[in-house]
Amino acid sequence: MQRYDLIVIGSGPAGEKGAAQAAYFGKKVALVERSEQLGGACINTGTLPSKTLRESALYFSGLGQRGLYGIDYSLREGLTVQDFMRHKDAVVTEERSKVSKNIAAHSIDHFAGAGQFEDAHHVVVHQAHAEPIRISADVFLIATGSKPHRASEIPFDDEFIFDSDSILQMNRIPESVAVIGGGVIGCEYASIFAALGVKVALVDGRDRLLPFLDAEISERLRGRLNELGTEFFFNERLEGIEKSAGKIILKLGSGKILEAETCLFAAGRRAAVEGLGLEKVGLGVNKRGYIEVNEVYRTTAPHIYAAGDVIGFPALASTSMEQGRVAICHAFGFQYKQRLAHMLPMGIYTIPEVSSVGETEESCKEKGIRYEVGRAQYSNNARGQIAGDRHGMLKLVFGRDDRRLLGVHILGESATELIHLGMMALESKGTIDLFIDFVFNYPTLSETYKYAAYDGLGNLSGHKLREG
């Protein structure tokens, strides 16, 4: 039996970065991964595949060229699902290799198999083609991620009815698809299919898309997806589903009937903890199906930490990496990464992109914060016109009394890149005057910060300031 300072179960962003953090500071580390491939859902089924498919959809559909030249490009003739998936496969292969090299570079022992707690300090690794291996450690990090929730009443067959993992194995580009669930994953895939010219119906039980977003941004996103051909069914519940004559027939709570060739269920995920043996170490999951942790990602078992999707919201690769690092630094007393940043950006890779950080108008109202907003439209920005994005917008939310920046919300080209400038201003408690004082390259989309700030000052004073 081999003994380690740390055993990490799961090789996604939280597991990989947590393991590397410990190894960097000289700890002996083992990484256990049950999948044949390293990288977790981030690389293999979630974050990177869907984002790469977004770029493929933009390329094959010619959607960007429509904005640039006003030409109605049709989908490339003879496009196959293999063509569509090729770039995704190449990116995934490269990223898997990077994770493998990172683990090797840090001299981390990789155990391929399903890890299961035997007791408080021992894990048994069940291998596919070999005898189980028993290893032990002083500290553990659970980073097993999450998986799509598969309701028993849904006849998943991964040919016509998919979840957000199995959709990557589709063998054709369908003519129509019903997406159940208007969360991040549902919206991203709805926009990808719509860009390809697929008829999309999106069903959600809430009254608007992505309610955590600023309401104005959410509505603009709905409008753009609608222009791409997406049909929305809000405040609806799925009451029944059946396959008939090569079609999927869905009955909604309102009595409406939808027909589609394919159906994607993107209505929730849950922690992937089956078979871990959590009961052996006195752990379980909460009512939402996730492992409970404190502010340093420690479970109720003092030597066991958990990070990433297995602990629930925000379940982003970016935050998972940092959670893993913070957990390990606390576990071993490293005076390095002590906390996550106060401001965590949200990136949504729909078409168009959305990114957000900080307070929304709605949250300011709920908290009684006196606020004002400033907006800048991509249509008034030279780089926006060059890029062919005339629908994008950057929105600043700031305090009326001190002009301190409170939130940044962006819809449009490069939103997930642009957000970081605003996030740094938020983290440093800056005012919107920062953006007015900055000199930005011209022409750039970053300039929208300056003109959103000008707009905000105009709104604050009751008249529009001259922007020349």
Residue 229: give its domain's CATH number: 3.50.50.60
156 within a domain of the structure (yes/no): no
Q: CATH code at 359? A: 3.30.390.30
Q: How far apart are CA 373 and CA 6, in angstroms?
A: 48
How do strand 114-119 and strand 122-126 relate by DSSP bridges?
antiparallel
Amino acid at 284: G
378 within a domain of the structure (yes/no): yes
Tokens 């990557």 sit at which residue?
A: 168
Can you give the pLDDT at residue 69? Answer: 55
432 within a domain of the structure (yes/no): yes
Neighbours of 407 (CB within 10 A): 22
ω into residue 148 within 30 of 0, thus cis?
Answer: no
- Are residues 356 and 253 both part of a single domain? no
Answer with the one of 224, 250, 267 that is the final residue of a domain.
267
- Are residues 241 and 274 both part of a single domain? no
Can you give the pLDDT at residue 67? Answer: 57
β-sheet bridge partners, residue 308: none
Neighbours of 127 (CB within 10 A): 13
Contact 87, 56 (CB under 8 A): yes
Can you give the pLDDT at residue 378? Answer: 96
- Are residues 135 and 14 both part of a single domain? yes
Residues of the chain with pLDDT below 70 are 64-79, 464-468
Answer with the one of 242, 267, 292 that is the final residue of a domain.
267
- Are residues 275 and 138 both part of a single domain? yes
Rounded to the nearest angstrom, the gap between the alpha carbon of residue 180 and the centroid of all alpha carbons in its chain is: 17
- Are residues 111 and 181 both part of a single domain? no
- Are residues 258 and 281 both part of a single domain? no
**What are 412-423's pLDDT values in tens digits?**
999 999 999 999
Q: How far apart are CA 139 and CA 120, in angstroms?
A: 10
- Are residues 427 and 326 both part of a single domain? no
347 within a domain of the structure (yes/no): no
Can you give the pLDDT at residue 468? Answer: 40
What domain range includes position 423?
Answer: 352-461
- Are residues 166 and 283 both part of a single domain? no
Q: Smallest Cα–Cα separation from 451: which of 462, 438, 461? A: 438
- Are residues 103 and 223 both part of a single domain? no
- Are residues 49 and 137 both part of a single domain? yes
- Are residues 25 and 112 both part of a single domain? yes
16 within a domain of the structure (yes/no): yes
310 within a domain of the structure (yes/no): yes
Can you give the pLDDT at residue 360? Answer: 98
How far is the CA of 366 from the CAs of 8, 363, 408, in angstroms?
A: 40, 5, 17
Q: Smallest Cα–Cα separation from 411: which of 382, 448, 463, 386? A: 448
Answer with the one of 224, 246, 267 that is the final residue of a domain.
267
Contact 411, 352 (CB under 8 A): yes
Can you give the pLDDT at residue 467? Answer: 47
Tokens 């926009």 sit at which residue?
A: 191
384 within a domain of the structure (yes/no): yes
Contact 249, 241 (CB under 8 A): yes
153 within a domain of the structure (yes/no): no
For 266-386, strand residue ranges (E) read 269-271, 304-306, 346-348, 354-358, 371-377
Contact 250, 241 (CB under 8 A): yes
* pTM of the complete model: 0.89
- Are residues 285 and 389 both part of a single domain? no
Q: How many domains does the chain have?
A: 3
